[in-house]
Amino acid sequence: MKKLLIGNAAVARGAYEAGVRVACAYPGTPSTEITEEISKYDEIYSEWSPNEKVALEVAIGASIGGARAICCMKHVGVNVAADPLFTFSYTGVNGGLVLVCADDPGMHSSQNEQDSRRYALAAHVPMLEPSDSQEAKDFTRLAFEISENYDTPAMLRLTTRVAHSQSVVELSDPERVELKPYAKDAAKYVMVPANARERHKAVERRMKALAEDCNGLPINRIEYGDRSVGIICSGNVYQYVKEALPQASVLKLGMVHPLPQRLIREFAKNVEQLYIAEELEPVIETQVKAMGISCKGKELFTVQGEYSAGMIRQAITGEAKAALQPVLVPPRPPVLCAGCPHRGVFYVLNKLRLTVSSDIGCYSLGASKPLNAIDAVLCMGASIGMAHGMEKARGREFARKAVAVIGDSTFIHSGITGLIDAVYNKGNLTLIILDNSTTGMTGHQHHPASGFTIKNEPTHLLNLEALCLACGASSVRVVDSYDMEGLENAIKEETGRDGVSVIIARRSCVLLDKGRKNYYTVNAKCTNCKLCLRLGCPAITSGEKASAIDKSLCTACGLCKKVCRFGAVEEAQR
Amino acid sequence: MMQLNVLIAGVGGQGTLLASRVLGRYALAQGSDCKLSEVHGMSQRGGSVVTHVKMGEKVYSPVIEPGGADVLLAFEALEAARYAHYVKKGGMIIVSTQKIMPMSVVTGSAKYPGDILDKLTEMGYNMVKVDAVGTAERAGNIRAANIVMIGCMAKLLKIDYGQMRKAVGESVPQKSLEVNLKAFEEGFNAIKLP
Ligand SMILES: Cc1ncc(C[n+]2csc(CCOP(=O)(O)OP(=O)(O)O)c2C)c(N)n1
């Protein structure tokens, strides 16, 4: 049967067809849908883990236990999971293990555009890179075979354009894969120095074998055409090359680590001018040049953002299509939704003019105008450490005008250790946990403090208040996120107090709350002072004489009524 | 075989994704190759979003190049202007006349160009304006404006009514099937061909 699938759903299908038993992930665009799709298969145990490191460790346990296991994350997730990855590369697998990582050239939804191919090189693991959904499925299956045949974790690299593009996939039946027997094997799995030294040799042997064998792997293939131009490429860039220069000769790499050196030499010999077209870092180019082969790469192509057929055509042939000038219009960046419980918190923080070290999530949008409330955003969990470090740099008085802000999912991901650090090292810190009871940014995944599993089954609910107290916070209080007065008082009190305080601003994500009976309207008392516009609510628009509220967007959160000094906002029934 | 590139532009939350999936289903039923490039994540929070639909004998890149779209299906006037340069010579912009203010306009740091659609017409673009929201409201749900637009496009491109209707039916959630089929019909009939 043929189906249109996004690359992520195709990876999920590949995992199912490969007989995967265990799937673990922490969400992250553009990888999230893989595990969401996998969770629909009853044959596969799946979970949202609290972070990528734990996810990989659970998958590793499953592999050692004899099952095929898959673990999925976005590119920066690999930073978090790197520690287990680098040593699991030494132990190798029992059941096959595939780590899927989704890079985001162009940063559609990310804080950097690091290139995870470098991880494959650094950790000495093979990496496959599909160029469409059919390959996403096929390469997932192949990755499990490679993993088991070469006793190694295998990585599958996607980029946003492959992960989130739909193309036609031919579905097949799942393989029957038995659980491998488990036997204690300390020399292989106990990575103390004496054993690890031996395993490091095994790593070297297997990578040499792979480097030889990948020359004959059908997913690395030469397509000869006009031999005056030869292009080495992989992933979605292959598609751009085929569209831009259908006549050119192409070496398409399905495996991007290790590289098939014999095939590359053969191709280089048979084409007049060799080009390497690769998004992000010159990973292939550096290796090809180190082989003593001359080629053109980053002198023509940028390390920034996404490529396209047009830019490849221009770079190689020099011919540019007549430049089409975009019409200049006001930008439309994303905004906090109407009724978002984060809005009131940032309105208050902006009003109090505090230094805010924030974190990653929907609430990063608190940095945009008009809320303008955020001073720093780095990586998941960093808000707390950064706030602690600012106090250590600038002193106690500075900390009285500063807070750290973090989402509930992000706090569990990697904020808890930061909180422990601040307490342990006698910091003075006010932490605001934005508890909307979901992982909002990535499309509403459950987490340990939402009380449900990936399959929507009720489970143990992590009690954030008790957790913060156990970490040693001297004050923990809960405020309704819509209660701006309560928030303001709490923030003033807690920043004035010595020690580490936690304010949990609690209210579910408005997108999860469907039944909306009321809405707000603007009455004749509006003086057009425009104070309500400072909330940055997409339901409120400014007019010539008065503000107006879009009934279809309003969720009756009531923040505008609270900020209005003239009683010009009133509730109405739908 | 029909070769067609459609760029669907709108504001996060307007249902561009569903519209593209309808076209994908239609393409597959015709035996065409097809690729869709979607947007998930950050920009879905009320930002500008654009989805690419390409169908034909063989599709390589899932992304339409500037100057490469046969049709720009725009769910909002400003978004029509933002992506107009993707339309090829002789291509068409089908635009919902709905206006949604971006935050820069709300806060007063930018102005919404009220005459933007006239400007596009002046620039020589082949424009078809549709009251998609009003039509969807008459069909029973303003959220079906995306399917109204699909109906309009089907009529304008002389696509078989029954086959596109089937693709709509198979793509929308069962509970809103009726409203969406009605929206499709209303959209189709809202266009009068000369
Ligand atoms: C290491 C890492 N993993 C995953 C992500 C993707 N990501 C960004 S924010 C976020 C979670 C946001 O959830 P929460 O903290 O609850 O805030 P909300 O979006 O609900 O406001 C995720 C998964 C990331 N940026 N970095």
What residue spans define the domains of chain B? 4-190
Please state, in angstroms and rounded to a whole number, the distance separating the CA atoms of residues A23 and A21. Answer: 7
Compute, in angstroms, the gap from residue A480 CA to the centroid of ligand 1. Answer: 22
Report whether B108 contacts A542 (CB < 8 A). Answer: yes
Q: Judge if the beta carbon of residue A362 lies within 6 A of ligand 1.
A: yes
pLDDT beyond 70 at A42: yes
Taking a contact as any Cβ pair under 8 Å apart, which residues of chain A between 350 and 389 contact chain B? Answer: 362, 365, 368-370
- DSSP strand pairing (B48-56 vs B33-37): antiparallel
Taking alpha carbons only, the member of A88, A99, A24, A96 closest to residue A55 is: A24
Instruction: Domain B4-190: give its CATH code.
Output: 3.40.920.10
Touching check for B108 and chain A: CB below 8 Å? yes
Give the number of C-alpha atoms closer than 13 A to the C-alpha of residue A268, restricted to the C-beta side: 17
Which residues of B are less than 8 Å from A530 in CB distance?
A: 108
Q: Judge if the beta carbon of residue A101 lies within 6 A of ligand 1.
A: no
Compute, in angstroms, the gap from residue A18 CA to the centroid of ligand 1. Answer: 29
Which residues of A are less than 8 Å from B102 in CB distance?
A: 330-333
- pLDDT digits over A89-123, tens only? 999 999 999 999 999 999 999 999 999 999 999 99
Enter the pTM of the model.
0.97
CB pairs under 8 A between A and B: 172
Taking alpha carbons only, the member of A252, A246, A247 closest to residue A277 is: A252
pLDDT band, very low/low/confident/very high, at A261 (cuts 50, 70, 90): very high
- Contact between chains at A329 and B11 (C-beta distance less than 8 A): no
Compute, in angstroms, the gap from residue B111 CA to the centroid of ligand 1. Answer: 33
Please state, in angstroms and rounded to a whole number, the distance separating the CA atoms of residues A530 and A542. Answer: 7
- pLDDT digits over A20-36, tens only? 999 999 999 999 999 99
Nearest-CA residue for atom 1 of ligand 1: A77
% of chain A with per-residue pLDDT over 90: 95
Which residues of B are less than 8 Å from A535 in CB distance?
A: none
Asked if A2-214 and A221-317 have one fold, the answer is: yes
* Least confident window among A71-80, A263-272, A541-550: A541-550
Task: Please tell me which of the candidates B12, B47, B106 has its beta carbon nearest to residue A540.
Answer: B106
Pocket test for ligand 1, best of A49, A360, A365 (most atoms within 8 A of CB): A360
Dihedral angle, C-alpha A64, A70, A74, A78, nearest 10 °: 10
How high is the pLDDT of residue B43?
A: 66
Q: Judge if the beta carbon of residue A74 lies within 6 A of ligand 1.
A: yes
Touching check for A450 and chain B: CB below 8 Å? no
CATH topology of domain A2-214: Rossmann fold (3.40.50)
pLDDT beyond 80 at A393: yes
Question: Is A518-573 a CATH 3.30.70.20 domain?
Answer: yes
How high is the pLDDT of residue A319?
A: 84
Mean per-residue pLDDT for A516-531? 92
Query: The domain at A221-317 falls in which architecture?
Result: 3-Layer(aba) Sandwich (3.40)
Compute, in angstroms, the gap from residue B24 CA to the centroid of ligand 1. Answer: 30
Touching check for B89 and chain A: CB below 8 Å? no
How high is the pLDDT of residue A491?
A: 98
pLDDT beyond 70 at A323: no
Which residues of B are less than 8 Å from A6 in CB distance?
A: 38
Q: Judge if the beta carbon of residue A62 lies within 6 A of ligand 1.
A: no
pLDDT band, very low/low/confident/very high, at B109 (cuts 50, 70, 90): confident
pLDDT beyond 90 at A259: yes
How high is the pLDDT of residue B1?
A: 66
Compute, in angstroms, the gap from residue A69 CA to the centroid of ligand 1. Answer: 24
Task: Please tell me which of the candidates B37, B79, B108 has its beta carbon nearest to residue A165.
Answer: B37
Report whether B83 contacts B7 (CB < 8 A). Answer: yes
Domain boundaries, chain A: 2-214, 221-317, 342-512, 518-573
Confidence check on the interface: ipTM exceeds 0.85, yes or no: yes
pLDDT band, very low/low/confident/very high, at B41 (cuts 50, 70, 90): confident
Query: The domain at A342-512 falls in which architecture?
Result: 3-Layer(aba) Sandwich (3.40)
Q: How far is C-alpha A213 from the chain's CA centre?
A: 33
